[in-house]
Amino acid sequence: MAGASILCATDLTSAGPRTVDLAIATAKAFGVRLDLVHILDDADSWWPESPELQAAVDAAKEDSTRHEAVLEAELQKEQARCVAAGVETEAFVVRGRPWRVIPELAEQRGSFLITIGSYGSSGPRSVDSKGTTEPVLGSTASRVIRAADRPVFIATGEAPIPDGLQRTKWFVGTDFSASSLAAVSWAKRAAARVDGELHVANVVIPAGGEEKPDEERTWRQVLRDQSKIEAGQKLSAYVEEHAPSAQTHQVVSADYASRAMCDAAKMVTADILVVGTHRQGVLGRLLLGSTASRCLRISPVPVLMVPEQAR
């Protein structure tokens, strides 16, 4: 992959080291350059032009310049860590809105993949959902995923990231759509590159009444049971066509599909969760469905979001 690169956006906060660790491992896995960037959000850097305020403006500009120098020094430390790990790395600080600049830089630098943290300077947050506490994805990460036209690797979870992603297990959920096919295709290539395992899963709703004879079951239970059988057959044929070496899993759960997938990923001790996304609407913006959104919140391992066109 000569000339290719991975763009790693770090905010240099508590989430930064894990994001860089993921970027290092991925760059080593693909044998590419790492572009390490910190975006200095200058959305509020509008300077008044009134002569009476010139002294204050000059002082503020000097303070901003000193702050940027501090950030550059911190970024250089992370660059040195990447180089020590054996990864060719370029590092730079850029001013702008992070969610807008990151996808633009990825395009300019020829980066085929973006890595980003799951939360930013505001720190990790959580929300209660059906009696359980789930983390909230940071606004920058969420907007980058929607704006990017290439895969985005989010450093979610707390599980250790294997060196070079070698012999890792890649777990992909599929609903047989074009977007999930892109995710399966990407994961298949990645798993093959790192001598890893590929697992493909489909979630179905339990039929209910399995302990009863057919004549005592409701029509809904009978239909769901038939749907489950057909979905299993479709999964087998789907994997045979698109990823013959993958292991298949039919996950039967009445829970959210996202939670069922994450639980199934835990059962096989997956290292990476891969989710497909797709564009919709007049503006062609990326649609991040409820399943993908919740996977990002609750996954115990990094999540690779693959847009449909990245197949």
Averaged pLDDT, 77-105: 94
Q: Tokens in use for 267?
A: 């059962």
> Is the pLDDT score of 14 beyond 50?
yes
CA pair distance 40, 17, nearest whole angstrom: 18
Residue 270 burial (CB count, 10 A): 25
CA pair distance 89, 78, nearest whole angstrom: 10
The model's pTM is: 0.85
Averaged pLDDT, 53-70: 80
Say which DSSP state 230 is in. H
What integer pLDDT is reported at residue 26 of this predicted model?
A: 97
CA pair distance 306, 60, nearest whole angstrom: 41
What integer pLDDT is reported at residue 286 of this predicted model?
A: 43
Strand partners, 89: 34
> Is the pLDDT score of 82 beyond 60?
yes
CA pair distance 288, 21, nearest whole angstrom: 25
Q: Which domains does the chain have, with CATH numbers?
A: 1-155 (3.40.50.620), 157-311 (3.40.50.620)
The pLDDT confidence band at residue 20, using thresholds 50, 70 and 90, is very high
CA pair distance 198, 28, nearest whole angstrom: 19
pLDDT greater at residue 285 or residue 221: 221
The pLDDT confidence band at residue 311, using thresholds 50, 70 and 90, is low
